[in-house]
Structures are given as structure tokens and as C-alpha cells.
A and B are shown apart, each in its own frame.
Chain A
Amino acid sequence: EPEVTQTPSHQVTQMGQEVILRCVPISNHLYFYWYRQILGQKVEFLVSFYNNEISEKSEIFDDQFSVERPDGSNFTLKIRSTKLEDSAMYFCASGTSGYQETQYFGPGTRLLVL
């Protein structure tokens, strides 16, 4: 069964450093998402991406964040200058047709900012 994959599984970085989190969505999916989950809290929406542009972003997704689909398979989340409060589990998700359709999640990348 096709799955969303994410790399790395864990990332430790120093405050102020840039990180890039990578995702390979399910191959025939057209809608891509990033969510995050701070330890013990709810899963929170960050951004959605369709047709090579951002469809919606949350207030968390400020200028330090960017997303890109550099080729036909990868979907990346970049944090330019990490802060301590960026420490969280970051999940990529993908879906076939957007509204009222299931979003399938990857296993996540655990980001720790020191």
C-alpha cells in the first residue's frame, strides 16, 4: 500500500540554523500539507499546497517557513532560522482531490532545536 514517507526521522539543530524537512507524498496525490505537533498537544495545520502554490497557511507559518516541490516527487518544508519553540513533530500529508477527501500522513520528523 502506498505511503507518505519523510526524512529524516529525527533532526537536532542549533537555534538560528536552517533546517529542511523532506517528504515524498503518495504518487498520484495532488494536494500536500504540513502539520506539526508539539509534544503532548494537538496536531496543528501549517500549510497546504496545490498546483505549485500555497493554498492556505496558518498564523504559525510565518516568513521563517517556506515550502517547495522541487521535482515531481519531493515536498519540502524549510525553516530558515529555527527557534526553540519550533521543536515539534512535523507531519507531511497528501490527498487526492482536496476537500472532503482523506489526508494520509507520513511518520513525521521529530525536530529538536537546542
Chain B
Amino acid sequence: GESVGLHLPTLSVQEGDNSIINCAYSNSASDYFIWYKQESGKGPQFIIDIRSNMDKRQGQRVTVLLNKTVKHLSLQIAATQPGDSAVYFCAENSPGAAGNKLTFGGGTRVLVKP
């Protein structure tokens, strides 16, 4: 989910279970969305993206779902592994956003328990 300031929501998940991370985006005109993974001390790493003409997109072990009606995005990680432990951010891009800037959500920390 979303967060403000220093308090990241945390999702604890058992290794091998599925994870679902949620994001509420702000701009109803946004039509391109990206999920990034950020490990401690590193830059955001691209996971998967989706355009607004789709409501679901699958990658390797990851699925992104888009619900434009309620401005909600989710990332599903199948068979979560210890290497999936990180902070996950959604980012949105709006048409007419000159310069293609991305607006990031607050992030969710995922902790994978062995």
C-alpha cells in the first residue's frame, strides 16, 4: 500500500508463498505504470510495466494487475524467494507530462522469511 514519510508498510511473507503488493495511484489520467524493486543501497530496478489499455500483464514469476476504475495497481510475486526481499515502488506516467516524468508511490517493504 501507500505510505507517507518514514513509515513504510511491510509485508512479511513465508518463502515459497505468493506476495501481493498494492498501490493506489493518484492521477486518473495516468496511462503507463511501472513496478520497481529497490534493494538496500541500490537504485530502483525495473520489474514489469503495464499500459492502461491492459488490465493484466505477466512476467517471470510476477503479474501486474491494473484497475483503472479505482486507480489501483497490484504486483503479485509467485513463490516468493529470499532474493525478493526489498522495497517495491509503483510509478505512474501521465500523458502530457512533459519530459515523461515518473511519479513514485511511497513503497512497500517485503520481508521474506525462510
Which of B43, B95, B105, B107 meets A106, CB within 8 Å? B43
Contact A48 B36 (CB under 8 A): no
B60 to chain A, nearest CB (A): 15
**Residues of chain A at interface, number, CB under 8 A:** 32
Query: A98 to chain B: which residues have CB within 8 Å?
Result: 100
Chain A interface (Cβ < 8 Å from any Cβ of B): 4, 31, 33, 35, 40-45, 47-50, 54-58, 91, 95, 98-108
Cross-chain pairs A/B with CB under 8 angstroms, 17 sampled = A4-B43, A33-B99, A33-B100, A41-B6, A42-B89, A42-B106, A43-B104, A45-B101, A45-B102, A47-B99, A48-B100, A48-B101, A55-B98, A56-B99, A99-B97, A102-B49, A107-B43
Contact residues on B (Cβ < 8 Å of other chain), bracket: 20 to 34
Q: Is the CB of B43 within 8 A of A108?
A: yes
The answer on a CB contact under 8 Å between A100 and B32 is: yes
What separation, in Å, do the CA atoms of A44 and B106 have in the docked complex? 10
**Using a CB-CB cutoff of 8 Å, which residues 62-114 of chain B contact chain A?**
89, 91, 93, 95, 97-107
Docked Cα-Cα span, A92 to B100, in Å, equals 14
**Contact status B43-A91, CB under 8 Å:** yes
Judging by beta carbons under 8 Å apart, are A40 and B6 in contact? yes
